[in-house]
C-alpha cells in the first residue's frame, strides 16, 4: 500500500507540473503497478499456491524449468517470472547484506537453554529480513543475499570441540539442538506465532547439513564419515527428524562429506530416510558446489570423485531427490535431461517444490514488519548466553569498581561477530562495555579487580580457513588448550607478588569448549562470553554488575580437562565423546553453570501417565544483593537394559525463578519422541516395549553428583 501511495503522489506531481507528458507518465505508471504485473494467471493470488504453481509447471519449457533448479533463478520474461536467488544467510542475524543486527553465535544461544528466547530473536531477524527484501525489490536487487530463503539453522551435532564450525551449531546434545533448531525455524518462518499452521511464511529456513557433518574442515571435500547405524539414529539424525516432524521447515541441505562411502547429496539411504520414512516433501538443496566434489579432478583440493562425469553426478542427485543446487551445474542438468537420465516428470516434481516455497515466501501478502527497537542498556539476548564457570566470591561487583583490563580480546570489535555475520550498526567491545559501568585504570596497582579478556577468535576457528599455525589447522583446532601465551599471562597474574590481593576475572571468548585445567587455579572467576554479537561487551559488563535479577547460561558442550580426553578427531564413533558417552570426568560438565543465587533441588515427582516431572527448588544464598535467578532444571534418561545406550541423554528442560530462602517449582512435560530406544533388529528408533525399565535423572547439570534418580517402568498408552 505504501508503494502504491508513493506512485499516486508521483503521478499527481508530474501531472500538475507537466500536463503535456500525462499520457506517457500514465503508461509508465501502469506498467510498474500490479495492474501490469498480474497479466499472467499464475500472478493471481486468488488461485492459491497450488493452482499458481501448476499453471507455471504447465507453461514452462523443460529448459526454463531446469534454470529454476540452480540457486540463481534467471528471469523468465515470457511468463513474467522475475529473477531470484535462493542463497541468503541468517545464522545469527541477516548476514552479508549490509547493516544488520548481529546477535550471539548459535553456540552462545544454546547456552541459554531457552527456546522461547531463540524464537523471539529469530522473529526479529525475520522482520529485519523482510525489510531488506522489500528494499532490494525497490532497487531491482535480485542477486545473492537479497532473497527470503535462508540457509539456516546449522543443526549438526558438535561431537568434537576441535571442529571449527561448532560455533554455528547448538552444541553436542541432540535434544537441545532439536529444541533450539525448532525455535529458530519457527521464528524465521512464522515469527512469534505459537502454532505455525495457518500462519504466513515470513522467510524460508533450511536444516543443514544432512548429515553426520562435523569436520575436519581441511579435507571436507573428500572426507568419508564412517558411522554406525546406531550412532546415525541416536546422535546424528534425531534433530533433523524432530524438526521435520514438528514444523513446516521449507528446506533441508545435504552436506559436503560422504557417509560410509557415499556423498551426502547422492546418498540413497539418506534420501530414503528423508522422503519415505519421515515423509518430508520440502526442498532438498545441495551445499554450495557440493556436487562438484563428486566428479571434478583433484587439481586444487582432494575430492570424492565418486562419479565419472558431471552428467552422471547430476543425474544421480536430481534423478532421485535433490531439488535445487547451490552452485553452477545448469549445463550438467541440461545434459542429464538430454541424455534421458533426468526425465521431465522428475523435473516437474522438483520445480513444483521450488515454486511452492518461492511463491509462498515472496508473493503472499505478508507485512514487511515493524522496525525492531532494541534497548542497548539491556543487551539481551547476549546477557543470557554468558556462563559463569567459577566464582570465588568475587562477582558481582559495584558500579565504579576500579578495573584493570588486559588480554588479547579486550578491545577487539571483530571477534564478537563470529562468522556468517552482518555488518553491525554498533559493536560493544569488552572495553567499551566495561566503561559503561566501571572505572578503568591503566595499571594493575590502583585496581580493585583485574579482568583478562582472552580465548580464541573467528579468525582462528571457522569454516575452511587458510590457517596452519600451532594448535590450529584450516579452521579446526589440533589442541583444545588455551594458546600458550595466554596460559603464561594468566599464570603471571595469578602468581603476582606486587598486588597479590587483587582478584582476577577471566572473560573467555570462544566458539567451542576450551581445556582450562592448566589455568583454572590462576583466576578467581571465569565468565564464558562466547562470540556474543554486537552487544557482547555490554552484556559482560552488565552480568558482572551488582544489580539484578540475573539470568546466566549453561554449558551446551562439555569442557574437557585436556586434549588427551578426546578420541581421534576423524573417528565418528560416539564412544568416549560428549557427556553422553565419555567415561572420564570433565573439568566442567554439559549443562553446568553458576548463578548469584545458589539453589538446589529439594524434591522431585514424576507422573508416569502424563510423563510430567515436577521439581521443587530452594534458594540457598544470595550474592551481592541479587533478588532472584533463573534456574534451569535438566531431565536425563538412562536405559539400564541397553549397555550400548548413552550413559545419560537429555530429554527435558524446565525453568523457574528462585529467590534466596524461598522455594519455586519447575514443571517439565516429556515428549515420547525422546524416550525412544534404538532397535538393532530394525536399525531404527522405536518406542520402548511395554514394561521396559527406565530411569530419569533430574538435576542442575549432567554431573552424576548433581542428579536425582527416579526409576520407572515404561507403559505404552
The string of pLDDT tens digits covering residues 58-115 is 999 999 999 999 999 999 999 999 999 999 999 999 999 999 999 999 999 999 999 9
Task: Supply the pLDDT for residue 372.
Answer: 57
At 261 the pLDDT is 98
User: Does the pLDDT of residue 626 top 80, yes or no?
Assistant: no
Percent of the chain at pLDDT exceeding 90: 87
Determine what percent of the chain is predicted with pLDDT higher than 70.
92
Asked if 657 and 631 touch (Cβ cutoff 8 Å), the reply is yes
pLDDT of residue 567: 97
Residue 105: which residues within 8 A CB-CB, separation 6 or more?
91, 92, 167, 168, 418, 419, 511, 530, 531, 532, 533
Please give the angle made by the CA atoms of 407, 410 and 411, to the nearest 5 degrees: 135
| Predicted confidence band of residue 364 (pLDDT cuts 50, 70, 90) | low
Average pLDDT over residues 372-379: 57
Q: Which of 150, 668, 91, 113 is nearest to 421 (CA)?
A: 91
Residue 85, CA distances (Å) to 16, 300, 323, 427 in order: 40, 28, 15, 30
Cell numbers describing residue 73? 533463478
> What one-character DSSP code corresponds to residue 83?
P
Pairing mode, strands 251-254 and 206-210? parallel
Q: 504: which 3 cell numbers? A: 582476577
Quote the pTM value. 0.94
* Residue 611: other Cβ atoms inside 10 A: 20
pLDDT at 38: 67
Q: Does 325 score more than 90 pLDDT?
A: yes
Q: Given the C-alpha cell 588479547, which residue does it identify?
A: 408
pLDDT score of 225: 97
DSSP annotation of 45: G
Residue 546 pLDDT exceeds 60: yes
Rg (CA), the chain: 27
| Residue 23 pLDDT greater than 80, yes or no | no
More confident residue, 8 or 183: 183
Measured distance CA(297)–CA(688) in Å, rounded: 48
Task: Check if the beta carbon of residue 177 is closer than 8 Å to that of residue 239.
Answer: yes
Residue 365 has a pLDDT of 63
Pairing state between β 677-679 and 684-686? antiparallel
Element (H, E) at 54: helix 48-59
Query: What stretches of 421-462 show up as alpha helix (H) in DSSP?
Result: 430-435
Q: What is the pLDDT of residue 376?
A: 52
Domains in the chain with CATH codes: 2-363 (3.20.20.300), 595-717 (2.60.40.10)
Per the model's pLDDT, the better-predicted residue between 494 and 268 turns out to be: 268
Q: How far apart are CA 11 and CA 150, in angstroms?
A: 37
Q: Give the pLDDT confidence of 667-694 residue by residue, as tens digits.
A: 999 999 999 999 999 999 999 999 999 9
- What is the mean predicted confidence (pLDDT) over 546-562? 93
DSSP string, 350-397: HHHHHHHHHHHHHHS-----PPPP--TTT-TTHHHH-EEEEESS--SB
| Mean pLDDT, residues 462-478 | 96
Cα distances (Å, whole numbers) of residue 240 to 237, 273, 457, 531, 674: 5, 11, 29, 25, 13
Mean pLDDT calculated for residue range 475-499: 92
Q: How confident is the model at residue 363 (pLDDT cuts 50, 70, 90)?
A: confident
pLDDT value at position 16? 43
Residue 367: what pLDDT? 61
What's the pLDDT score for residue 300? Answer: 84
β-sheet with 707-713: strand ranges across: 649-658, 629-638, 693-699, 707-713
Distance CA 248, CA 281 (A): 9
Amino acid at each position: 500500500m505504501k508503494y502504491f501511495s508513493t506512485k499516486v503522489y508521483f503521478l499527481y506531481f508530474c501531472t500538475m507540473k507537466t500536463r503535456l507528458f500525462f499520457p506517457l507518465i500514465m503508461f509508465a505508471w501502469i506498467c510498474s503497478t500490479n495492474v501490469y504485473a498480474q497479466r499472467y494467471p499464475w500472478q493471481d493470488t486468488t488461485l492459491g499456491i497450488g493452482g499458481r504453481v501448476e499453471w507455471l509447471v504447465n507453461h514452462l519449457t523443460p529448459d526454463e524449468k531446469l534454470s529454476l533448479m540452480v540457486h540463481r533463478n534467471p528471469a523468465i520474461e515470457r511468463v513474467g517470472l522475475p529473477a531470484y536467488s535462493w542463497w541468503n544467510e541468517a545464522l545469527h542475524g541477516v548476514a552479508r547484506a549490509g547493516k544488520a543486527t548481529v546477535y550471539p553465535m548459535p553456540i552462545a544461544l544454546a547456552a541459554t537453554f531457552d527456546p522461547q528466547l531463540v524464537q523471539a530473536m529469530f522473529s526479529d531477524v525475520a522482520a529485519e529480513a523482510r525489510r531488506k527484501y522489500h528494499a532490494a525489490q525497490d532497487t531491482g536487487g535480485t542477486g545473492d543475499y537479497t532473497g527470503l530463503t535462508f540457509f539456516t539453522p546449522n543443526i549438526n551435532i558438535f561431537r568434537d570441540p576441535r571442529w571449527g564450525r561448532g560455533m554455528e551449531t547448538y552444541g553436542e546434545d541432540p535434544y537441545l539442538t532439536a529444541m533450539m533448531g525448532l525455535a529458530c525455524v519457527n521464528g524465521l518462518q512464522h515469527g512469534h506465532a505459537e502454532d505455525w499452521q495457518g500462519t504466513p511464511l515470513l522467510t524460508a529456513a533450511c536444516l543443514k547439513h544432512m548429515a553426520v557433518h562435523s569436520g575436519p574442515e581441511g579435507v571436507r571435500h573428500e572426507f568419508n564419515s564412517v558411522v554406525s547405524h546406531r550412532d546415525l539414529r541416536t546422535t546424528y539424525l534425531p534433530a533433523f527428524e524432530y524438526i521435520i516432524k514438528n514444523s513446516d521447515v521449507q528446506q533441508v541441505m545435504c552436506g559436503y562429506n560422504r557417509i560410509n562411502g557415499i556423498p551426502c547429496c547422492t546418498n540413497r539411504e539418506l534420501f530414503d530416510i528423508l522422503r519415505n520414512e519421515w515423509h518430508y516433501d520440502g526442498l532438498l538443496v545441495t551445499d554450495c558446489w557440493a556436487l562438484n566434489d563428486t566428479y571434478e579432478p583433484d587439481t586444487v583440493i582432494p575430492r570424492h570423485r565418486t562419479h565419472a562425469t558431471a552428467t552422471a553426478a547430476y543425474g544421480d542427485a536430481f534423478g532421485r531427490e535433490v531439488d535445487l543446487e547451490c552452485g553452477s551445474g545448469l549445463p550438467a542438468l541440461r545434459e542429464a535431461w538430454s541424455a534421458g537420465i533426468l526425465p521431465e516428470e522428475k523435473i516437474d516434481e522438483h520445480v513444483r517444490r521450488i515454486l511452492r516455497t518461492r511463491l509462498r515466501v515472496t508473493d503472499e501478502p505478508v507485512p514487511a514488519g515493524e522496525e525492531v527497537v532494541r534497548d542497548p542498556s539491556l543487551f539481551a539476548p547476549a546477557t543470557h548466553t554468558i556462563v559463569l564457570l567459577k566464582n570465588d566470591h568475587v562477582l558481582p561487583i559495584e558500579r565504579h569498581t576500579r578495573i584493570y583490563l588486559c588480554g588479547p580480546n579486550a578491545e577487539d570489535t571483530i571477534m564478537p561477530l563470529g562468522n556468517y555475520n552482518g555488518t553491525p550498526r554498533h559493536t560493544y567491545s569488552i572495553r567499551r562495555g566495561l566503561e559503561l559501568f566501571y572505572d578503568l585504570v591503566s595499571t594493575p596497582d590502583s585496581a580493585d579487580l583485574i579482568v583478562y579478556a582472552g580465548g580464541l577468535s573467528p579468525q582462528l576457528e571457522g569454516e575452511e580457513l587458510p590457517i596452519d599455525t600451532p594448535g590450529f589447522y584450516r579452521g579446526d583446532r589440533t589442541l583444545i588448550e588455551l594458546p600458550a601465551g595466554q596460559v603464561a599471562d594468566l599464570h603471571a597474574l595469578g602468581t603476582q607478588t606486587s598486588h597479590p590481593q587483587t582478584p582476577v576475572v577471566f572473560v573467555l571468548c570462544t566458539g567451542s569448549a576450551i581445556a582450562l585445567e592448566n589455568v583454572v587455579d590462576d583466576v578467581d572467576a571465569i565468565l564464558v562470553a562466547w562470540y556474543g554479537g554486537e552487544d557482547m561487551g555490554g552484556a559482560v559488563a552488565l552480568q558482572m554488575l551488582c544489580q539484578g535479577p540475573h539470568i546466566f547460561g549453561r554449558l551446551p558442550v562439555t569442557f574437557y580437562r585436556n586434549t588427551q580426553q578426546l578420541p581421534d578427531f576423524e573417528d565418528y564413533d560416539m564412544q568416549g565423546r560428549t557427556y553422553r558417552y565419555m567415561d572420564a570426568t570433565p573439568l566442567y560438565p554439559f549443562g553446568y553453570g553458576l548463578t548469584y543465587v545458589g539453589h538446589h533441588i529439594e524434591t522431585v515427582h514424576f507422573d508416569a501417565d502424563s510423563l510430567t516431572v515436577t521439581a521443587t527448588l530452594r534458594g540457598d544464598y544470595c550474592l551481592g544483593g541479587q533478588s532472584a535467578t533463573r534456574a534451569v532444571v535438566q531431565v536425563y534418561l538412562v536405559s539400564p537394559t541397553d549397555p550400548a545406550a548413552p550413559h545419560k541423554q537429555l530429554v527435558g528442560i524446565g525453568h523457574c525463578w528462585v529467590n534466596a530462602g524461598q522455594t519455586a517449582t519447575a514443571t517439565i512435560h516429556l515428549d515420547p519422541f525422546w524416550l525412544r530406544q534404538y532397535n538393532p533388529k530394525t536399525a531404527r528408533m522405536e518406542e520402548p516395549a511395554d514394561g521396559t525399565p527406565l530411569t530419569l535423572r533430574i538435576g542442575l547439570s549432567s554431573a552424576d553428583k548433581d542428579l536425582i534418580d527416579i526409576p520407572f517402568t515404561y507403559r505404552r498408552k
